[in-house]
Structure 1
Amino acid sequence: MESTEIFKKVRKIEIKTRGLSSHIFSGQYHSAFKGRGMTFSEVREYEYGDDIRNIDWNVTARFNKPFVKIFEEEREMTVMLLIDVSGSNDFGSQSQSKRDLTAELAAVLAFSAIQNNDKVGVIFFSSKIEKFIPPKKGSSHILRIIREIVDFKPVERGTDIGEGLRFLTSAIKRRTTAFLISDFMTDKSFEKEMQICANKHDLVALRITDRREMDIPKVGLVKFRDSETGKERWVDTSSNAWHNAYLQMIENESAELNREFTKHGIDNALIYTSEDYVKPLMQLFKKREARR
Structure 2
Amino acid sequence: MNRKNLSKRAELLHLSSVSLAEGMRNGTFRSLYRGTGVEFSGVREYLAGDDVRAIDWNVTARMGKPFVKIFDEEKELDVFLVADKSFSMDTGSGIQSRLETAMECASLITLASLHNGSPVGAVTFDGRIDFSCPPKSGKNNAMMMLSHFEKGASDFSSRINGSALDSALSGACRLLKKRTLVIVISDFRVDGWQDSFARLAHHNDVVAIRITDSADEKLPQVGSVPFIDPETGAACILPTSSAKFARAWQENYEAKTEEWKKNCLRHGAVPLSISTTKDPAGELIKFFTARERY
TM-score class normalised by the smaller sequence: 0.7 to 0.9
Q: Distance in 1 between matches of 2:243 and 2:38?
A: 53
Does 2:28 match 1:26? no
Matches within 5 A, 1:200-239: 200-239=203-242
CA distance in 2, matches of 1:90, 1:12: 24
Moved segments of 4+, more than 4 Å = none
Alignment partners' CA distance in 2, 1:117 and 1:11: 19
Q: Distance in 1 between matches of 2:183 and 2:269?
A: 10
**1:44-123 equivalent positions in 2, closer than 5 A:** 73-123=73-123
The aligned residue for residue 242 of structure 1 is 245
Matched, 1:167 2:162: no
State TM-score, norm by structure 2: 0.78
Query: What amino acid does structure 2 have at the position aligned with 1:209?
Result: T
Indicate the residue corresponding to 2:132 in structure 1: 132
Look up the SS of the partner of 1:150 in the other structure. Answer: helix
Displacement after TM superposition at 1:72 (Å): 8.1
5+ residue gaps in structure 2?
31-35, 42-70
Distance across 2 between alignment mates of 1:245 and 1:12: 45
Counterpart check, 1:284 vs 2:287:
yes
What RMSD in Å do the two structures reach over aligned CA positions? 2.4
After superposition, what is the alpha-carbon deviation per residue over 1:80-107, rounded to whole angstroms, capped at 9, x for unaligned?
Answer: 1100110011112233111111122111
Aligned length: 253
Q: In structure 2, what is the equivalent of residue 36 of structure 1?
A: 38
Q: 1:12 to 1:245 in 2, by over 3 A?
A: farther
172, 182, 185: which one aligns with 2:186 = 182
Calculate the TM-score normalised by the size of structure 1: 0.79
**Quick check: 2:134–2:175 contact (8 Å CA) kept in 1?**
no
| 2:197 corresponds to which of 173, 194, 197 | 194
Structure 1 spans left out of the alignment, 5+ residues: 40-70
Judging changes above 3 Å, is the alpha-carbon distance between structure 1 residues 87 and 138 closer, same or farther for their aligned structure 2 residues?
A: same
